Structure 1
Amino acid sequence: MTSTSQRATPLPPDERRAALVASTLALVLAEGPDVSTRQIAQAAGVAEGTIFRVFSTKDELVNAAVASACDYSPMLGELEAVDRTAPLDVRLVAAVEILQRRTARIFRLVDAIGLKAVEASRSHRNLVEESALVGQVLTDLIEPARERLRLEPHEAARRLHLLTFACSHPRLVQDDPMAASEIVSMLLDGVRLRPGAPERLP
């Protein structure tokens, strides 16, 4: 009798590696770095031996997962995809939401594996480079509104980046981050009541 079951088509090497890294990262964020290769294999839907055909050790896989979480290129891609034709406040809210997700992700990782382990995958040079690239993208988003601002776009971008970090950092906001729309409003409008402005917020 012929079996009707079929073995899943093997993933190409790059896709298999990415699937293992993604599954490992999700487990590390949920349970810390002491996850087993059996858990990883189950989460990725592969045999346990498959892991060691891609990575030499479990630590190598965990390190790759942490490095993927620290990689800022996906965030930059999201920022660069923000609609430049949208109104200024709309595009800045979109950018702040992206930055907030990045901040939350990094601090979830810190909580899961510790600050030193994250710093090992996120060098000072990378942090400086990331900050500079984010600043440039924010400047580009603000540039079309240059004539309506009292600050140069690069300075408005710097302040928006600082505000976003300060108002979203879990240790500073006690797990109650400010809404992206409020961060943008604080930058563009300030906190002083003005004629025609919305009612005072709590």
Structure 2
Amino acid sequence: MSPEERRAAIVRAARPLFLEHGQATSTRLVAEAAGIAEGTVFRAFATKQELVDAVLDAEFDPEVFLEDVRSIDPGLDLRERLVAYTTLLQRRFVGIFALMAALGVPKPPPRFTDAAARRRLAQEGLASLLAQDADRFSLPVDRVVHLVRLLTFSGSHPHISDQRPLSPEEIADVILHGVLRPAGAAPLSEDLTSEGPAS
């Protein structure tokens, strides 16, 4: 196993432990999970913080996400494509939120907030899936992509969504159709629309 492969294997073993135990995770636990000696962890990562940073790097790395996006069938209808994309984006956000919370990281480190990287994610991600439908939107595709990202982010964050996350289907339908009922459609039943007294 090459040094790069060894580091990647340790990161994969460490991620679920950090999610469960946060910063209390010991390198001994990581070594046991990876099936290696504890000293091997420190040959791959000089410090525990270096390992934490590597796990965060892997979580924020867009490559696996973009590879999954590229696997979405462009022949699906628009809503199906949007639901498939939003499912992947929500999974990415939820993973990032959970890991940051477990590690006590209040905001992404600066290296993860690069605007150019976000533009690349947008262009290589949803924008490519929506390009064939550009003439169907009332807004430019890049603006639609921005709205999908904002709604998915806020609708997936446990605090912003008040622990009531939006589903990918809900997000897609709000983006494509808004929240007005089509003319002649039956209203939602009372038990679905009632949320009780406003807080």
**Rounded Cα–Cα distance in structure 2 between residues aligned with 1:39 and 1:99:** 30
Q: Alpha-carbon deviations, 1:8-37, whole Å to 9, x = none?
A: xxx333222111011112211111122111
Aligned match of 2:144 in 151, 156, 168? 156
Q: Alpha-carbon deviations, 1:18-59, whole Å to 9, x = none?
A: 110111122111111221111011111112222122222222
Equivalent residue, structure 1, for 2:176: 188
Cα 1:78–1:129 change in 2 (3 A) is farther
**Rounded Cα–Cα distance in structure 1 between residues aligned with 2:36 and 2:184:** 60
**Rounded Cα–Cα distance in structure 2 between residues aligned with 1:22 and 1:147:** 43
Moved more, 147-156 or 29-38: 147-156
Give the alignment of 1:76-87 within 5 angstroms.
Answer: 76-87=66-77
Aligned match of 2:120 in 113, 129, 133? 133
RMSD in angstroms over aligned alpha carbons? Answer: 2.1
Cα 1:114–1:121 change in 2 (3 A) is farther
Equivalent residue, structure 2, for 1:74: 64
- Consecutive unaligned residues in structure 2, runs of 5 or more: 193-199
Moved more, 182-191 or 155-164: 155-164
**Rounded Cα–Cα distance in structure 1 between residues aligned with 2:155 and 2:121:** 17
Shift of 1:133: 2.1
Cα 1:156–1:60 change in 2 (3 A) is closer
TM-score by length of 2: 0.84
- Consecutive unaligned residues in structure 1, runs of 5 or more: 1-10
**Rounded Cα–Cα distance in structure 1 between residues aligned with 2:135 and 2:110:** 41
**Rounded Cα–Cα distance in structure 2 between residues aligned with 1:131 and 1:196:** 41
2:133 maps to 1:145: yes
Q: Alpha-carbon deviations, 1:151-199, whole Å to 9, x = none?
A: 2222222222222122222111122211101110111111111147576
2:87 maps to 1:97: yes
Equivalent residue, structure 1, for 2:113: 124
Q: Alpha-carbon deviations, 1:103-161, whole Å to 9, x = none?
A: 11111122111234x53364432xx2343123222222112112333222222222222
**Percent identity of equivalent pairs:** 36
**Rounded Cα–Cα distance in structure 1 between residues aligned with 2:185 and 2:70:** 31
Number of matched pairs? 189
**Rounded Cα–Cα distance in structure 2 between residues aligned with 1:87 and 1:196:** 24
SS of structure 1 residue aligned to 2:132: helix
